[in-house]
Amino acid sequence: MTSTNPVNPVYNPLIDQNDYLSWRKDKLANTPDYRDADPADLFVDIENASDPTPEELGQILAACDKTNMALYRLATHSPIADKKTIIALAQKTGLKQLDKNLCADEDSLTSITRTSHQGQHNYIPYSNKRLSWHTDGYYNTPEHQVRGMLLHCATPAKSGGESLLMDHEIAYILLRDENPRYIEALMQADAMTIPANVLDGTVIRKAQSGPVFSFNHKGQLHMRYSARKRNIEWKQDAHTLEAVAFLDELWEQAAKGRSPYVLKYTLQAGEGLICNNILHCRTAFEDFDEPSKKRLLYRGRYYDRVNEFQE
Ligand SMILES: [Fe+2]
């Protein structure tokens, strides 16, 4: 089966090749070669997280505008106090509507740590295993797409737990440069299907079909994706499968440190990521023996993009 009529009748500001080339040029000019970059240069230092200055917030918004991600570092932090402070900080960047997922804490900022709680035992994020490339909430319904994401480190692991990050717009460019048909395939409304989530015989999430790439009404690119084979049923057409294989190869190169577009960094205590739900993965990690030193990250998934309220 081939994708003879693959383009959805949806808004697509990049359908014209000249428009695409212009957008592409700007995007690549704004994206550093992360292999050469000093992570220290990528961080926005925040003196007082409870009351960030306009300059500090402006730096976060500017970084997200260019690369869909910003790294921040709090001058002072404590794991207990951080959670509410981080929610408030995220709000000031435009991340306001938290997605309530199955494992969220009561205030909806999820604690990512090794756990064996009921309902979480099947999820790699709550283990110390490698977590493969994905965007967050790729299984969410169309009405509840996760467009913004926050990751904050309260306690790093003893070793490992490195994050690999890639702007999803760069993935779009690499795919389109390789073969424009890959983009058409991944914009099909049935490109990917996430099987139902069944726990102890009960369906807790219905199967979800949707595109990998889509645009919102402002022409901003959104991506739903997981590299985990068991998480996705890909449409069985040639271009979809080739595009998926192309991404798999990209991740292999990234793991070897060969992609200029992949930022590799291990978040330390008080450091975090604010982003427009970019592609990311995590290496395996080892915890300290003391329970109080277990790796702990807070994650927020949002229906908003960064700075959306001002766009
Ligand atoms: Fe994630």
The residues placing their C-beta within 5 Å of ligand 1, an ion, are 136
pLDDT confidence of residue 8? 40
- The pLDDT tens digits of the residues spanning 273-308 come to 999 999 999 999 999 988 889 999 999 999 999 998
State the distance from the centre of ligand 1 to the C-alpha of 23, rounded, in angstroms. Answer: 27
State the distance from the centre of ligand 1 to the C-alpha of 44, rounded, in angstroms. Answer: 21
- Top mean-pLDDT range of 70-79, 81-90, 106-115, 187-196: 187-196
pLDDT bracket for residue 172 (50, 70, 90):
very high
Residue 81 has pLDDT above 70, yes or no: no
pLDDT confidence of residue 303? 94
| Mean pLDDT (whole number) for 187-192 | 96
**Domain spans in the chain, listed from the N-terminal domain onward:** 17-310
Which distant-in-sequence residues (6+ apart) come within 8 Å of 124 by Cβ?
A: 130, 131, 228
State the distance from the centre of ligand 1 to the C-alpha of 283, rounded, in angstroms. Answer: 12
Residue 100 has pLDDT above 90, yes or no: no
State the distance from the centre of ligand 1 to the C-alpha of 154, rounded, in angstroms. Answer: 16
State the distance from the centre of ligand 1 to the C-alpha of 305, rounded, in angstroms. Answer: 16
Going by their DSSP bridges, the two strands 69-74 and 43-46 should be labelled as parallel
Which distant-in-sequence residues (6+ apart) come within 8 Å of 267 by Cβ?
A: 151, 152, 153, 156, 161, 163, 273, 297
Residue 2 has pLDDT above 50, yes or no: no
pLDDT bracket for residue 107 (50, 70, 90):
low
Residue 26 · residue 170 · CB < 8 Å: no
Look over the chain and give the mean of its residue pLDDT values, rounded to a whole number: 89
State the distance from the centre of ligand 1 to the C-alpha of 136, rounded, in angstroms. Answer: 5
pLDDT bracket for residue 154 (50, 70, 90):
very high
Residue 42 has pLDDT above 50, yes or no: yes
State the distance from the centre of ligand 1 to the C-alpha of 300, rounded, in angstroms. Answer: 10
State the distance from the centre of ligand 1 to the C-alpha of 17, rounded, in angstroms. Answer: 32
Return the percentage of the chain with pLDDT > 70, whole number.
Answer: 89
Q: Which fold has domain 17-310?
A: Double-stranded beta-helix (3.60.130)
pLDDT confidence of residue 9? 45
Residue 55 has pLDDT above 80, yes or no: yes
State the distance from the centre of ligand 1 to the C-alpha of 103, rounded, in angstroms. Answer: 13
State the distance from the centre of ligand 1 to the C-alpha of 74, rounded, in angstroms. Answer: 22
Q: Give the orientation angle of helix 238-255 with respect to helix 168-178, to 10 degrees.
A: 120
